[in-house]
């Protein structure tokens, strides 16, 4: 088997350290036998561990804590309420334009309504499902300045 260049050796060390695939997948990808990979891992154990440490540090992962924390998810838009609302608003704005300029398409209107409902739910303006009437009990709401009796 041909001798590996320093660049190829480092690429293989990084691939093993970052667990880019199973031994079989790495064997096929890099054109090496499984026995070669086993001996390679044994001979380069320290370098593979360093690559693994670099990878976990670069990705903000902790090697000691396997339980995710809220900080692990802060880069995701779904974990950020403002980002979720911005996404909902962007889509709702596009659907509103479709509905007003492109004619009243029933599917676009339903989608627009669902995005508005999702945004209202996100802002806490909708009751949770199941709220209200339960086994004959009713929910009474008193809004200051509104006379519900006169509205009936």
Give residue 56's Cα distance to chain centre: 19
Structure pTM?
A: 0.38
Residue 149 lies in a domain: no
Both tokens assigned to 108: 């676009």
Looking from the CA of 135 toward its CB, the CA atoms found within 13 Å total 0
pLDDT score at 77:
67
Task: Give the residue numbers spanning the domain of 84.
Answer: 68-130
Greater confidence (134 vs 88) lies with: 88
Domain end position, chosen among 17, 40, 58: 58
Residue 1 lies in a domain: no
Write the pLDDT tens digit of every residue in 34-64.
Answer: 889 899 999 999 999 988 888 887 766 554 5
Greater confidence (18 vs 67) lies with: 18
- Residues 71/56/16/29 CA torsion (nearest 10 deg): 50
Is the distance from CB of 68 to CB of 76 less than 8 angstroms? no
Residue 63 lies in a domain: no
Q: Are residues 83 and 35 in the same domain?
A: no
Q: Are residues 83 and 108 in the same domain?
A: yes
């Amino acid at each position: 088997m041909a001798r590996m260049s320093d660049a190829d050796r480092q690429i293989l060390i990084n691939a093993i350290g970052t667990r880019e695939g199973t031994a079989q997948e790495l064997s096929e990808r890099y054109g090496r036998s499984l026995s070669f990979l086993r001996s390679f891992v044994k001979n380069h154990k320290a370098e593979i561990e360093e690559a693994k440490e670099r990878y976990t540090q670069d990705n903000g992962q902790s090697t000691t804590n396997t339980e995710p924390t809220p900080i692990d998810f802060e880069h995701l838009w779904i974990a950020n309420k403002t980002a979720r609302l911005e996404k909902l608003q962007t889509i709702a704005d596009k659907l509103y334009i479709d509905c007003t300029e492109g004619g009243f398409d029933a599917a676009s209107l339903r989608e627009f309504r669902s995005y508005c409902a999702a945004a209202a739910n996100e802002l806490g303006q909708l009751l949770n499902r199941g709220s209200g009437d339960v086994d004959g009990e009713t929910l009474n709401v008193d809004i200051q300045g509104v006379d519900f009796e006169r509205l009936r």
